[in-house]
Amino acid sequence: MITQLIADIYEITLEIERCLEQENIDQIEPLLERRGKMMAKVETFKLENPDYRYTDDDQKRFQATFQLDQLLIPKMEELKTEAGKKINQLKKKQQVSKKYLPYQQQNYGAFIDTNK
Q: Look over the chain and give the mean of its residue pLDDT values, rounded to a whole number.
A: 85
Domain that holds residue 27: 2-86
Backbone angles phi, psi at 45, to 5 degrees: -60, -45
92 part of a folded domain: no
The lowest-confidence range among 39-43, 93-97, 102-106 is: 102-106
Nearest to residue 70, comparing CAs of 16, 6, 5? 16
99 part of a folded domain: no
Specify the amino acid at residue 81: T
Q: Residue 116 has what pLDDT?
A: 56
Q: Residue 105 has what pLDDT?
A: 55
- Identify the band that residue 98 occupies on the pLDDT scale cut at 50, 70 and 90: low
Q: Residue 13 has what pLDDT?
A: 94
Structural domains of the chain, count: 1
97 part of a folded domain: no
Q: Residue 93 has what pLDDT?
A: 80
CA 34 vs. chain centroid, Å, equals 13
114 part of a folded domain: no
| Furthest CA-CA distance within the chain | 81
